A and B are shown apart, each in its own frame.
Chain A
Amino acid sequence: MVDFIQNCLDGVMVGSSYALLAIGFTLIFGVMRRLNLSYGPSIMLGAFVGTLVYLEFQMGGFAVAVATVIGAVLAGIYVERLCFWAIRQGAAVASMVSSFAIWMQLEEIVTVFFPERTYPFPPLADRTAIEIGPFFLKLENLIMFACAAGLTVLLQVLLYRTRFGLALRAVSENPRAARFMGINIGRVTFWAFALASALGGVAAYLIIGTDAQITPLFGLWATFKGLIAMMLGGMGSIPGAILGGLLLGVVEAQSTWYLGTEYRDLAAYALLFLFLVFRPGGLMGQVAAERERAALRRV
Chain B
Amino acid sequence: MLEVRGLQVRYGKVRAVQDVTLDVAAGEIVALIGANGAGKSSTMHAICGIERPAAGQIRFQGQDITRLPAYRILRQGIAQVPEGRLIFGGLTIEENLRLGAHGAAQRSGGVDMAAVLELFPALAERLDERASVLSGGQAQMLALARGLMANPKLLLLDEPSLGLAPVAVQEVFRLIQSLRDRGVTILLVEQNVRQALSVADRGYVLEGGRIILEGRADTLVRDEHLVSAYMGLKPAATAG
A283-299 at interface with B (beta carbon < 8 Å): 291, 294, 298-299
Residue of A nearest to B146 (CB): A181
* Given A179-B50, A182-B102: 11 more A-B contacts, CB < 8 Å: A163-B102, A166-B98, A167-B99, A173-B88, A177-B82, A179-B70, A180-B50, A181-B74, A181-B102, A294-B89, A298-B86
A6 at the A/B interface (Cβ < 8 Å)?
no
A284–B104 Cα distance when bound, in Å, is: 34
A173–B130 Cα distance when bound, in Å, is: 13
Residues of A within 8 A of B73 (CB): 182
The answer to whether B103 touches A183 (Cβ under 8 A) is: yes
A62-89 at interface with B (beta carbon < 8 Å): none
The answer to whether A298 touches B91 (Cβ under 8 A) is: no
Interface residue count on the A side (C-beta < 8 Å): 20
A156 at the A/B interface (Cβ < 8 Å)?
no
Question: Which residue of A173, A174, A182 is within 8 Å of B103 (Cβ)?
Answer: A182
Q: How many A-B residue pairs have CB under 8 A?
A: 68
A182–B104 Cα distance when bound, in Å, is: 8
B84 at the A/B interface (Cβ < 8 Å)?
yes
The answer to whether A182 touches B75 (Cβ under 8 A) is: yes
Residues of B within 8 A of A (CB): 48, 50, 69-71, 73-75, 79-80, 82, 84-91, 95, 98-100, 102-105, 132, 146, 150
A133-168 at interface with B (beta carbon < 8 Å): 163, 166-167
Question: Which residue of A169, A174, A177, A180 is within 8 Å of B48 (Cβ)?
Answer: A180
- Assess A180 versus B86: contact at CB under 8 Å? Given A166-B98, A294-B132: yes
A177–B71 Cα distance when bound, in Å, is: 12
Question: Which residue of A166, A169, A176 is within 8 Å of B86 (Cβ)?
Answer: A176
Residues of A within 8 A of B85 (CB): 298
A261 at the A/B interface (Cβ < 8 Å)?
no
A170 at the A/B interface (Cβ < 8 Å)?
yes
- Assess A177 versus B86: contact at CB under 8 Å? Given A184-B71, A294-B132: yes
Query: Among B50, B69, B103, which residue has the most Cβ atoms of chain A within 10 A?
Result: B103
7 closest residue pairs by CB, A with B? A182-B103, A182-B74, A177-B86, A182-B71, A184-B71, A181-B99, A180-B82
Residue of B nearest to A177 (CB): B86
The answer to whether A166 touches B95 (Cβ under 8 A) is: yes
Residues of A within 8 A of B84 (CB): 298-299
Query: Among B80, B85, B90, which residue has the most Cβ atoms of chain A within 10 A?
Result: B90
Nearest chain B CB to A79 CB, angstrom units: 23
Chosen A-B contacts, 20 in total, with CB atoms closer than 8 Å, are A163-B102, A166-B98, A166-B102, A170-B99, A174-B86, A176-B86, A177-B87, A179-B70, A180-B48, A180-B50, A180-B70, A180-B80, A180-B86, A181-B99, A181-B103, A182-B102, A182-B150, A184-B69, A291-B90, A299-B84
A294–B132 Cα distance when bound, in Å, is: 9
A177–B103 Cα distance when bound, in Å, is: 12
Question: Which residue of B70, B74, B91 is within 8 Å of A173 (Cβ)?
Answer: B91
Residue of A nearest to B87 (CB): A177
Residue of B nearest to A299 (CB): B84
Residues of B within 8 A of A182 (CB): 70-71, 73-75, 79, 102-104, 150
A165-201 at interface with B (beta carbon < 8 Å): 166-167, 169-170, 173-174, 176-184
A26-79 at interface with B (beta carbon < 8 Å): none
The answer to whether A170 touches B91 (Cβ under 8 A) is: yes
The answer to whether A181 touches B89 (Cβ under 8 A) is: no
A294–B100 Cα distance when bound, in Å, is: 21
Residues of A within 8 A of B98 (CB): 166
A182–B87 Cα distance when bound, in Å, is: 14
Residues of B within 8 A of A179 (CB): 50, 70-71
A188–B90 Cα distance when bound, in Å, is: 19
Residues of B within 8 A of A294 (CB): 89, 132
Residue of B nearest to A295 (CB): B89
A163–B75 Cα distance when bound, in Å, is: 16
Nearest chain B CB to A90 CB, angstrom units: 15
Residue of B nearest to A185 (CB): B71
A284–B90 Cα distance when bound, in Å, is: 14
A179–B52 Cα distance when bound, in Å, is: 13
